[in-house]
């Protein structure tokens, strides 16, 4: 059985803050209410996405890595991670704000939860007027100040609030406090991890459980980066029909392509799978004479063994992600 460009069946997640934009803006197909996340490519235990379409339909990421090894993920990736797929790919719709939260690094996550840490990035696909993200601190505090602000319900006052627009990009390293504000639809690329420390949740009660959600304020205290940084947003170029560098980290590399013609891509220098997230328009990926279409809000994985493809679009923006 041969590898080919793969789409996966998304897993939809109820969230207390979820809305309808995954359906109305990204044409996702589900009937539940308050769906906040579409997990596009996931190897999280119990939430493994499976291939949709073709000879490999129904196989999970773990199945594919087990069967094809380096041909699927790349030899270097396979040597480092074995059968654990290193990235989790999502679209997120926040109708109301997410909790104020932070993620632990690899070392703490391994020790406390036997998990990877959670470095992540956001690319804003749509934002309502004056919608904002909270990223990092605007005022220098320490662990004692953190505890005082939590006790006084004033933690939001020392955080950096940024009004966002389509195309805005943020890298969220572990330790950086953050939250997606109401009215933001975004693409999220992260390490395969589901470890989140909630610091503050607006005293909300979850309608499904009738309870407030658990907070992890103490666990968060010793992983937080209390430093104030001069800029939290990622600046980038947007030249047509080339891979423009967006976020390069030790955990993933992401480019953005703004395509209005046919372009040839050669990945022989990259020892990794490549993931495409279509964030605007529609793009055709042509591999071995066959065309695979990716529309806004769709994701496709190119196995590492496939080195040359064409991308064709009249007007599309695509995130290009690899290890």
67 vs 128: CA distance, rounded Å: 44
Average pLDDT for 115-121: 94
Numbered residues of the known binding site: 103, 120, 178
pLDDT tens, position by position, 282-305 = 999 999 999 999 999 999 999 999
Q: Which helix (H) or strand (E) holds 211?
A: strand 211-212
**CA–CA–CA angle 274, 266, 124 (5° rounding):** 40
Average pLDDT over residues 217-225: 91
pLDDT tens, residue by residue, 15-64: 999 999 999 999 999 999 999 999 999 999 999 999 999 999 999 999 99
Res. 138: pLDDT tops 80: yes
Share of the chain above pLDDT 90, in %: 95
Given the residues 198, 204, 213, 253, the one annotated as active site? 198
Q: Any idea which fold 11-221 has?
A: Jelly Rolls (2.60.120)
Q: Show binding-site residues for Zn(2+).
A: 103, 120, 178
Q: What is the mean pLDDT of the chain?
A: 96
Q: Is 176 one of the catalytic residues?
A: no
CATH no., domain 244-322: 2.60.120.10
pLDDT at residue 230 tops 80: yes
Q: Measure Cα distances from 313 to 95, 108, 223, 254, 320 in Å.
A: 31, 43, 43, 20, 15
Residues of the chain with CATH 2.60.120.10: 11-221, 244-322
Predicted local confidence at residue 175, as pLDDT: 95
Q: In this predicted model, what pLDDT tens digit does every residue of 234-259 receive, in sequence order?
A: 999 999 999 999 999 999 999 999 99
Q: Which of 268, 305, 299, 271 is nearest to 285 (CA)?
A: 299
- 3-state secondary structure string across 131-175: CEEEEEECCCCCHHHHHHHHHCCCHHHHEEEEECCCCCEEEECCC
- Please give the pLDDT value at position 10: 98
Q: Output the pLDDT for position 250.
A: 96
Q: What is the pLDDT of residue 273?
A: 98
3-state class (DSSP) for residue 70: helix
- Tell me: pLDDT of 207 over 90: no
Enter the tokens of residue 30: 């589900």
Say yes or no to pLDDT of 1 above 80: no
User: What is the C-alpha separation between 272 and 268, in angstroms, rounded?
Assistant: 9
- Separation of alpha carbons 170 and 205, rounded Å: 29
Residue 311 has pLDDT above 80, yes or no: yes
């Amino acid at each position: 059985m041969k590898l080919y460009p793969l789409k996966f069946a998304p897993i939809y997640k109820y969230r207390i803050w979820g809305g309808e934009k995954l359906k109305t803006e990204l044409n996702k197909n589900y009937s539940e209410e308050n769906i906040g996340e579409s997990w596009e490519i996931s190897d999280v235990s119990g939430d493994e996405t499976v291939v949709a379409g073709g000879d490999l339909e129904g196989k999970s990421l773990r199945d594919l890595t087990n069967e094809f090894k380096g041909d699927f993920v790349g030899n270097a990736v396979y040597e480092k991670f074995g059968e654990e797929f290193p990235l989790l790919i999502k679209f997120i719709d926040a109708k109301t704000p997410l909790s104020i939260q932070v993620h632990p690094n690899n070392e703490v996550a391994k020790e406390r939860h036997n998990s990877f840490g959670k470095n992540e990035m956001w690319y804003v696909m749509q934002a309502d007027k004056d919608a904002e993200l909270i990223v990092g601190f605007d005022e220098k505090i320490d662990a004692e100040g953190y505890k005082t602000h939590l006790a006084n319900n004033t933690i939001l006052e020392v955080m950096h609030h940024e009004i966002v627009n389509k195309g805005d990009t943020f890298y969220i390293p572990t330790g950086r406090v953050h939250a997606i504000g109401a009215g933001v639809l975004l693409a999220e690329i992260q390490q395969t991890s589901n470890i989140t420390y909630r610091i503050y949740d607006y005293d909300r009660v979850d309608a499904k459980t009738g309870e407030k959600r658990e907070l992890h304020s103490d666990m968060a205290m010793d992983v937080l980066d209390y430093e104030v940084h001069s800029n939290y947003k990622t600046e980038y170029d947007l030249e047509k029909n080339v891979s423009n560098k967006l976020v390069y980290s030790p955990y993933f590399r992401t480019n953005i392509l703004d395509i209005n013609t046919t372009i040839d891509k050669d990945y022989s220098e990259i020892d990794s799978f490549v993931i495409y997230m279509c964030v605007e328009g529609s793009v055709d990926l042509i591999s071995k004479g066959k065309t695979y279409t990716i529309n806004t809000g769709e994701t496709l994985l190119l196995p590492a063994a496939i080195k040359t493809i064409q991308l064709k679009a009249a007007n599309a923006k695509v995130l290009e992600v690899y290890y």
